[in-house]
Structure 1
């Protein structure tokens, strides 16, 4: 069953709420040990859900992105790249705008599923870009940061500053040759 974006964000919000509320934030040793899990939990959960939306032949997470650059799309359509060619990029860096915000709310006891859901709807967007484009973002200091003049809404701001054009990832090409 193909889920709509709002259904996916609701599912992620529920699972992320459960995860965050299970963490003992006052236990420094435990939280340090859980550092990598905390950084990767939401991304891995998102990838898992999104891959289930794709035909089995195309279950690489790079096919699941919301947006894509023309250069990356060429590789996706050919089905030819190595792990260093294409990057799965969170358009709004998830660490600063999702994880830290949600963890702060969990720590102070104000976290709700609705809070997470609204944050994800606004900030959880991914793009598949070519490594050269990713390197350009890094060179401009935008690899994991929004521009200083970001308005808080334009999810394309980093790419616009770098001159990288993203298009909506129309995934219809994934369904053209499916055996029935």
Structure 2
């Protein structure tokens, strides 16, 4: 029977996998392990190894590959090694990492990990309190997608205000479209712009609510969902109308947060300089 090296197969997988990866997508080790297990590079004899063997092999493959940034279990492909630059508007190609300077969006380096940790820790504390609400009807509302979504928004605003960075709702979005940027510069904001969740928030908030009611919620569980899925884009009303509002199509891979935008042909770019 042919023998396979787990480390070498993991490296082969990663070299093949990264060719189709958008450099704006963030992966956890668990995401990559699952992708590896679904690939042709995974062999059934690997399942007889110790439980952490594949996790370690993936980590080692990422390190050996050299094209990715690795920080606290979160991996992201470096921009200069990405083959998918066509997903970004060409006119912003040379200044994609330059924050927009206008009356609404501040110029600053935004640490996404610190931001998501803030949201996760505080949302966990809030949900633990909500879980103790005695009235079933009231508890159900506060643990609904609407109730938890409101908490998430106000925690987001709280973070920006504490950092002295709040310049209105649309200064908090991770990304922005060209048309939305023009609307902000013209002062035509309230009626024409949408603070749009790039993955409909009910998809991951439902998971958070269910785990809360089951008594199994942790702040790490919240963090792992938000770091993958909690991205917001400022779009125009016309652009928002092109997007399905409450679901992802069946062919979504469960990972790419920009799937709806790419499928709808909506181009966007960072609304702030992000540090992962």
**Shared fold, TM over 0.5:** yes
Say if 1:65 and 1:39 are closer, same or farther in 2 by CA, change over 3 A.
closer
CA distance in 1, matches of 2:198, 2:114: 20
Matched, 1:162 2:264: yes
Q: Return the offset for 1:47.
A: 2.7
Q: Return the offset for 1:28.
A: 2.1
Deviations 1:82-117 (A, max 9, x none): 3121111111111121x1111111111211111111
Aligned residue among 121, 126, 130 for 1:19: 126
Contact in 1 for aligned 2:124/2:222 (Cα 8 Å)? yes
Say if 1:147 and 1:10 are closer, same or farther in 2 by CA, change over 3 A.
same
Of 101-110 and 25-34, deviating more is: 25-34
Q: Return the offset for 1:79.
A: 5.3
Matched, 1:84 2:216: no
Larger Rg: 2
SS in 2 for 1:42: helix
Deviations 1:68-92 (A, max 9, x none): 111111223x151131211111111
Partner of 1:50: 160
- Higher relative CO (Cα under 8 Å, sequence separation at least 6) belongs to 1
Partner of 1:177: none
Q: Which runs of 5+ in 1 are unaligned?
A: 172-180
Deviations 1:47-83 (A, max 9, x none): 3323544656xx111122111111111223x151131
TM-score (norm 1): 0.80
Aligned residue among 167, 170, 179 for 1:62: 170
Matched, 1:150 2:243: no
Say if 1:5 and 1:107 are closer, same or farther in 2 by CA, change over 3 A.
same
| RMSD (Å), alpha carbons | 2.4
Partner of 2:181: 73
Deviations 1:2-54 (A, max 9, x none): 76111111111011101111123774222245354333111221133235446
SS in 1 for 2:191: coil
CA distance in 1, matches of 2:182, 2:161: 20
SS in 1 for 2:245: coil
Of 120-129 and 159-168, deviating more is: 159-168
Say if 1:3 and 1:132 are closer, same or farther in 2 by CA, change over 3 A.
closer
